[in-house]
Amino acid sequence: MGRLQDKVVIITGGAGGIGREAGRLFVDEGAYVLLVDLNEDALKDACNEIGSNAVSYFVGDVTRAADNDAMVACATERYGGVDGLLANAGIEGDVASIADYDEDRFDQVMAINVKGPFLGLKSVTPAMEKRGGGSVVITSSVAGLMGTPNLSAYTTSKHAVIGLMRSAAKELAPLKIRVNTVNPSPVETEMMRRLESGIGGEEGAELVKAGMAERIPLQRYGEPADIARMMLHLVSDDSDFITGSVNVVDGGMTA
């Protein structure tokens, strides 16, 4: 028996590096998984990569209430209910000073990174209540614990979801729905490749990466599997007395 045997988990941002690795791990641990993202081709690729009848996908926009309701309905129709939600969809936004930051871009980052988890919680709560409880894990960041120059929108959004998590944890505890964040350091994903290029340009990206890695006591970026294992712990019954917590997976970066 796996640690998630017969549990149903929705993963937003399911086509990305952390999302698809979490999907693979969760399926290996006995879960039924619904991957949610905007890019259908990437979702198909993720499902093929996982290679199991226990995973499927739903194309949806986490900033739309109707799409959040629809993903919950889809998981319920296919698998019988919802036990877990990884509110993992997110974007990094631009690398720019506050004075130069585009207002529409700021709004987009906040919509995906903050409104998305809010709407996910709103939609999934009734389904989890019917199951007698559940677990919601929101992907934050070490940027949610400290300031980061020239990443004002991303940093703001990752602080904001910690506040959302803490409020939701207290509000939903009577329903036995647990809510926590995972806060990774830089991880080997396409998002970090874009950030490295945004900070250092194409020619300086490798130097930026080396500099970031030097700030991590374990001297490396995280791997998607490092983050997925913490997510597994928080979704599983191993953490059934953990709610309202910030779970740092950062190689010592914020120590």
Number of helices and strands in the chain (H, E): 8, 7
Residue 56 sits in the same domain as residue 95? yes
Residue 126 sits in the same domain as residue 204? no
> Has 57 been annotated as catalytic?
no
If one counts the domains in the chain, the total is 2
| 27 in Cβ contact with 51 (< 8 Å) | no
Q: How confident is the model at residue 185, as a pLDDT?
A: 92
32, 79, 101, 154: the catalytic one is 154
Q: Report DSSP state, residue 143.
A: G
* Residue at token pair 């929108």: 153
The stretches in the chain having pLDDT less than 50 are none
Amino acid (one-letter) located at 170: K
* Residue at token pair 């194309």: 59
* Residue 2 belongs to a domain: no
Q: How confident is the model at residue 122, as a pLDDT?
A: 98
**Axis-axis angle for helices 116-130, 152-172 (nearest 10):** 20
Range of the domain at 114: 8-184+223-248
* Residue 255 belongs to a domain: no
Q: How confident is the model at residue 45, as a pLDDT?
A: 97
* Residue 108 belongs to a domain: yes
Q: How confident is the model at residue 181, as a pLDDT?
A: 98
Contacts of 67 (CB under 8 A, 6+ apart): 60, 61
Q: Strand pairing partners for 59? A: 37
* Residue 3 belongs to a domain: no
